[in-house]
């Protein structure tokens, strides 16, 4: 094993020169001096205080303080859950599911806008199904206010709301003549206002921390008819215009991530989320997923029929 004085200057002993085996500051060219053609590691590196005796005087090593991490809270943590001091893994999985749900549904809206614009059609356009976006817009606007605590959460809900507006605007302009637009828009606004009042009443009638219970029940009930309407119209019209597999896939995955947020809470803290595991909740979810699971098979069948007809 080579000693430090062998590495510093192998010629110094032959010249009779005294050397300090622990110099105050060693030039960088001496840190890895070759001996017999081999560059050796620096065995004394750990003896030095890097902040005080760094070989590069102009460089300062800043110690980690995690200040940015401490300023970034977890998403939508219930006070009742936080009181139990849950492990970080619980909160990280919850954060991931919430973010995934938001991103997937944002993609779903984007695909709906693209398909509606390109096909000049959306499911149920002939009877104005777009007007039922009113309650959905009210849901996203209302819970953006009452359930969020951070700027990030509010921005996410605001992004959904802006995508709702974009989808409604695209549908009215692309799939409806001018004479139909104002009556449909009036109905959308009327349903949105009525839904806001209804959500406020439910929040007062069934008080809950951050109104998560009413958000859960109204959310799964709003999701319930969408799959049946899309599947039924796809089958009855035998037309894929306004439909696409990417819309279905993001809607399907969005269901699983949205349900996953609440079931992750229920599986870990059942006393705080007992309604999630109730029979009514489970059956509504199962019945919601039935048409969504059948949808791609029906789409494939209708698509092949249209190809045979040359449409």
Distance from C-alpha of 255 to C-alpha of 223, rounded to nearest angstrom: 8
pLDDT tens, residue by residue, 217-276: 999 999 999 999 999 999 999 999 999 999 999 999 999 999 999 999 999 999 999 999
pLDDT of residue 49: 47
pLDDT per residue, tens digit, the chain (311 aa), is: 444 444 444 444 444 444 444 444 444 444 444 545 554 454 444 444 444 444 545 555 566 666 766 666 677 778 788 888 889 899 999 989 988 998 999 999 999 999 999 999 999 999 999 999 999 999 989 988 887 777 777 887 788 889 999 999 999 999 999 999 999 999 999 999 999 999 999 999 998 888 889 999 999 999 999 999 999 999 999 999 999 999 999 999 999 999 999 999 999 999 999 999 999 999 999 999 999 999 999 999 999 999 888 76
pLDDT of residue 207: 87
Across-strand partners of 38?
Answer: 35
Query: Which residue is listed with tokens 């849950």?
Result: 86
**CB of 190 closer than 8 Å to CB of 134:** yes
Query: Which residue is listed with tokens 């693209």?
Result: 114
Query: Which residue is listed with tokens 């081999």?
Result: 38
pLDDT of residue 160: 84
pLDDT of residue 272: 92
Query: Which residue is listed with tokens 């943590």?
Result: 77
CB neighbour list of residue 260: distance below 8 Å, 6 or more residues apart? 97, 101
Q: Is 248 helix (H, G, I), strand (E, B) or coil?
A: helix
**CB of 171 closer than 8 Å to CB of 125:** yes
pLDDT tens, residue by residue, 109-132: 999 999 999 999 999 999 999 999
**CB of 86 closer than 8 Å to CB of 269:** yes
């Amino acid at each position: 094993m080579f000693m430090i004085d062998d590495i510093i200057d192998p010629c110094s002993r032959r010249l009779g020169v005294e050397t300090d085996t622990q110099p105050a500051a060693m030039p960088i060219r001496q840190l890895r001096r070759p001996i017999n053609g081999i560059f050796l590691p620096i065995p004394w590196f750990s003896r030095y205080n890097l902040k005080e005796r760094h070989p590069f005087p102009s460089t300062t090593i800043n110690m980690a303080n995690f200040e940015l991490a401490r300023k970034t809270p977890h998403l939508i943590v219930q006070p009742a859950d936080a009181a139990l001091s849950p492990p970080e893994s619980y909160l990280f999985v919850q954060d991931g599911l919430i973010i995934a749900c938001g991103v997937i549904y944002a993609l779903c809206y984007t695909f709906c806008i693209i398909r509606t614009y390109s096909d000049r059609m959306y499911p149920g356009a002939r009877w104005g199904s777009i007007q039922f976006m009113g309650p959905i817009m009210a849901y996203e606007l209302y819970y953006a206010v009452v359930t969020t605590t951070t700027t990030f959460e509010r921005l996410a809900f605001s992004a959904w709301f802006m995508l709702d507006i974009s989808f409604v605007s695209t549908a009215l302009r692309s799939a409806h003549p001018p004479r139909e637009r104002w009556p449909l828009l009036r109905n959308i606004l009327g349903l949105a206002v009525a839904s806001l009042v209804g959500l406020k009443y439910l929040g007062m009638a069934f008080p809950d921390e951050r109104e998560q219970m009413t958000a859960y029940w109204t959310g799964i009930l709003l999701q319930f008819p969408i799959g049946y309407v899309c599947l039924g119209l796809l089958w009855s019209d035998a037309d894929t215009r306004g439909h696409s597999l990417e819309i279905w896939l993001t809607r399907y995955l969005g269901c699983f991530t949205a349900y996953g947020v609440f079931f992750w809470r229920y599986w870990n803290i059942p006393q705080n989320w007992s309604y999630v595991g109730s029979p009514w909740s489970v059956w509504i979810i199962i019945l919601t997923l039935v048409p969504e699971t059948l949808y791609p098979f029906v789409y494939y069948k209708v698509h092949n029929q249209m190809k045979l007809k040359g449409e």
